[in-house]
Amino acid sequence: MSNLTTSIQLTQKSTYKLNNGLHIPVTAYGVYTIPAGDTKDLVYYALEQGYRHIDTAVIYHNQKQTAQGVAAFLKDHPEVSRSDIYFTTKVYNSQHGYEETKAAVEGIAADVKEYIDYVDLVLIHSPKSNKEKRLATYKALQEYVQDPSNPTLHIKSLGVSNYGISHLEELLNWEGLLVKPVINQLELHPWLPHLKLREYLVKNDILIEAYSPLTQGYKLDDPELVELSKKFGLSKAEILLKWSFLQGFIVIAKSVNKPRISENLNILPKGSSDELDQTTHLGVIDLDPEILAALDKPDSHEVLTWNNIDCTEYVDPQ
């Protein structure tokens, strides 16, 4: 499953088609751990650089400021419309359950509706509750998708995050499923490739979204990665982000450093998919086969987030 290709044609404007027919940009700016006071400015800056997909969550406590950043950018850039920007947020574990999720959506609406009108994607942040609560949460969320004119909040798509195969099977086999999840957002990098889970997702037409593709910095001193960086004259971030794009992931890059925000996006060439030039290779993302071979670690299972506990293996308490 890993390293299916050594090159892929992508640009900063490329999108992938979701199983509901809508499209999602291939890269996103994430705001995890960004202080609320800095979020509006950094989201504005990211959009100014060319990002068109912003990823936040209820538990990040900067959802409102994220929406404010989008609104401020749209106000100053009338050539960009709301439909050009993809906005993702997530319902947290403590909000699982039908009524709890309804209240969570009310809270999301209170934070963002004034600024961005609708939300493109809501994810269940993790499976960490129990089957009854997970399905009740999904039941509540899909009601908003099915009724776009509902008075609370228009949600266009639903997905999950940190779901393993057992959690996905529970959802996909549920008789109440009316809105198929479009995304599973996962910690993904060469040290945590999740091959079996990815095969399952591809088989079920659910796109794969990678968070922490830069390992939150934990692996940037990895001797093998450092040596590859020196040998091929590529930054460590460039190697890891390109690796993620070559796996076919939607990639979330997060930084509070403005030059790095730009650098992470500029891994992808500017332009649009219909401008790709086969002669000049505009839009080609590639890595040397030696790099890909070195980073092909199918048996690695190094979890660097969630206190080093793999949420995809979560088992309900008895």
All structural domains of the chain with their residue ranges: 8-297
Determine the pLDDT at residue 300. Answer: 97
pTM score of the predicted model: 0.95
Residue 118 φ then ψ, to 5°: -145, 170
Give me 241's structure tokens.
């982000």
How far is it, in rounded angstroms, from Cα 212 to Cα 195?
17
Percent of the chain at pLDDT exceeding 90: 92
Main-chain phi, psi angles of 124, to 5 degrees: -80, 115
Q: How confident is the model at residue 4 (pLDDT cuts 50, 70, 90)?
A: low
Domain 8-297 is found in CATH 3.40.50.1370: no
- Annotated catalytic residues are 60
| pLDDT greater than 70 at residue 148 | yes
Question: In angstroms, rounded to a whole number, what is the distance separating the alpha carbons of residues 42 and 39?
Answer: 5
Backbone angles phi, psi at 170, to 5 degrees: -55, -45
The predicted-structure confidence for 58-108, as pLDDT tens digits, reads as follows: 999 999 999 999 999 999 999 999 999 999 999 999 999 999 999 999 999
At 276 the pLDDT is 45
Phi and psi based region of residue 239 (left: phi greater than 0; alpha: psi -120 to 50; beta: remaining):
alpha
C-alpha to C-alpha distances, 18 to 134, 135, 175, nearest whole angstrom: 22, 22, 22
Residue with the larger pLDDT of the pair 44 and 272: 44
Reference 213, options 192, 229, 233, 235; nearest CA is 192
Residue 14 has pLDDT above 50, yes or no: yes
189 assigned binding-site residue:
no
The pLDDT value recorded for residue 280 is 45
